[in-house]
Amino acid sequence: MLRTAWIVFRNEFRLLARDRAALFMLVLAPLVIITVAGLSLGNIYGAQPGAEPYSIVVVNDDHGWLAHALVDALGRDPLVTVVSVANLIDARAIVGGRARAPLCILIPAGTTGAFEAGRDVHLRLYIDPVKRLEAGAIELNLDRLCREVTTRAHDLAQARMTEQSSHLRDQLAQASNQMKDATAELGQMRRQIESDRATAQAEMTARISQAIEQIRAATVAQIDLSLAQTETAVEGDLAARHDALIAVSRYLGQLQASQRGFETWLAKLKSAAGSHASQIPAPPQWPAQPGQAVLAELSKPLDFPAPRIDAAVPIALPNIAIGLPSLPRLPDFGAMPDLGHIVSRTSALPGTIGWNEHSITGGEANVNTFDQYVPGFGITFLLVDMLWGVGVGLMDERDWGTLARLRVSGAPASGMMLGKLMSRFLIGLGQMILLFGAGWVLFGISLGHNSWALIFPAAAISFAAAAFSLVIACVANTRDAVLPIGAMAALAMSAIGGCWWPLDFEPYWMRALALAMPTTWTMGAFNNLMIRGLGPSSAAWPTGVTFAIGVVFLALGILSSSRIYDYSGQ
């Protein structure tokens, strides 16, 4: 039994040495996948083999010392390149169009002032949701940087407060001594002011009494003068009225004489009356009456002018000049310490620095991890399934003689290949639709704002995967070689093309190599539609490039298919 076991043991090693496909899958394929994964994920574990720095876009709207300190600290990190732009529009163009530019930091205006005033300030982080892992790594460094800046600012503020507190105590002691001296001097000033006030009040009372006496004497003199003038006016008025009375008296005497003559005339008239009426003499003339002016003068009331003070003779007011005592000079207390300024500067510690996340594309900043893994691993298994359906299927049909019978019938190789690829294309497209539906139902993945647009990149990668499987079948040339070569190529294409992790994790040369792979462009289209939430136009160019790469694969496969077709007749 031991001999049999030993023979079988040695035979397995001989068979393994002759089986190139097994050796390939045993050694080379794992090395290729490990190399790709190690180079891609090395920066997560701190290795960063040959990786260029990340680009952090900064929009500085504050321009204060805190903003400059943050930007300078970011720039000192050898793994980060700071790109300063003027506005968020320019930042969005850089983050969306440049590799290894996962986020933009916007420092709002007034950040420095709010931080100094003791308020918490928040930066605004605009991240690309597709580059969430890269952004998370940078956020860890940013969090550490913010804590260091906050701690340093608090330490400086605390040291400054301690120094200012000591200085404040010295100034308070100085102010206390000055206040004691001021209190003593102010008490002396109060006593001096009370004495001067009493002296000024007595002098003012005497001067006012003297001025009132002078004003009274001048007023009496003016009244006496006014009374004399009034007496003279009354005497003149009475004289004018006396002449009028004399004229009236004369008139009355003449009137009495006329009365007597009239009585005599009347007697004669009576004696001569009768038929001798024409002999009656003329009546006597009445005396002239006094004029209207004389009568008006007699009827005018007496107008005695009231006594008044003649304005032409002003009363000379005495000049009251009271000498007020001079105010005592205020004491010089010296320069008082500016205590308010010191208190205001030490009233608050600086605040803290944090940030708020926003999506730079306008969608959600936090994404479902299945939004990356469902399309990524769906593409991986699509490539593997295409190897079974196209590559292994062609080898089996060759070994079964199906291709020989087609050759005898005169069927062209290109038609046979196109028919097989078309059927497998539809099967692959159905597989992708099924995976997306299951991901939406089971894992809640986002299908974007235009879920119907996902059909185009899915169709493109199905076509490219079918054409790629045809190329592998032509290269491998045997059934046992299709799966090792194809699986390694499919896994490497998936890893390098960003199906398993973000493309920005990879070094520059690997990202450049990824541009020739359909997986890269298909994942870009899916990310734009599902994670970034962009419109269908964002997937048009990646989908077109994927179709173009599939056309290249198809041309190479058809040109090389003669090897399989001709080999079937051997």
Q: Would the pLDDT of 49 be above 50?
A: no
Report residue 108 as tokens: 């709002």
What's the confidence (pLDDT) of residue 332? 58
Under the banding of pLDDT at 50, 70 and 90, the label for residue 165 is confident
What separation, in Å, do the N-terminal and C-terminal C-alpha atoms of the chain show? 43
Report residue 344 as tokens: 């205001």
Q: Which of 3-17, 86-100, 358-372 reaches the highest mean pLDDT?
A: 86-100
Instruction: Classify residue 59 as left (phi > 0), alpha (psi -120 to 50) or beta.
Output: beta
17 burial class (0-12, 13-18, 19+ CB within 10 angstroms)?
exposed
**C-alpha span between 165 and 481 (Å, rounded):** 82
* Mean pLDDT of the region 475-479: 72
Number of CB atoms found within 10 A of residue 99's CB: 15
For the chain, which residues make up each domain, given as ranges? 370-567
Under the banding of pLDDT at 50, 70 and 90, the label for residue 455 is very high
What's the confidence (pLDDT) of residue 50? 47
Under the banding of pLDDT at 50, 70 and 90, the label for residue 14 is low
**C-alpha span between 421 and 466 (Å, rounded):** 6
Pairing between strand 103-107 and 121-127?
A: antiparallel
CA nearest neighbour of 378 among 293, 443, 298, 317 = 443
Altogether, the residues listed in the chain come to a count of: 570
**C-alpha span between 502 and 50 (Å, rounded):** 17
Q: What are phi and psi of 472, to 5 degrees?
A: -65, -40
Tens digit of each residue's pLDDT (9 = 90 or more) over 342-397: 555 545 667 778 778 787 777 666 777 788 888 988 898 888 888 777 777 777 66
Q: Between the CA of residue 88 and those of 92, 125, 139, 532, what are the distances in Å?
A: 6, 11, 19, 17
Tens digit of each residue's pLDDT (9 = 90 or more) over 297-356: 666 665 555 555 555 555 555 565 555 556 556 555 555 555 555 555 545 667 778 778
* Mean pLDDT of the region 24-34: 56
Does the pTM surpass 0.85? The reply is no
CA nearest neighbour of 520 among 99, 77, 15, 121 = 99
Beta strands in 102-189 (DSSP E): 103-107, 121-127
Q: Are 519 and 498 in contact (CB under 8 A)?
A: yes
* Mean pLDDT of the region 386-410: 69
- Please tell me what DSSP assigns to residue 285: P
Report residue 376 as tokens: 């990524």
**C-alpha span between 391 and 483 (Å, rounded):** 8
Under the banding of pLDDT at 50, 70 and 90, the label for residue 47 is very low
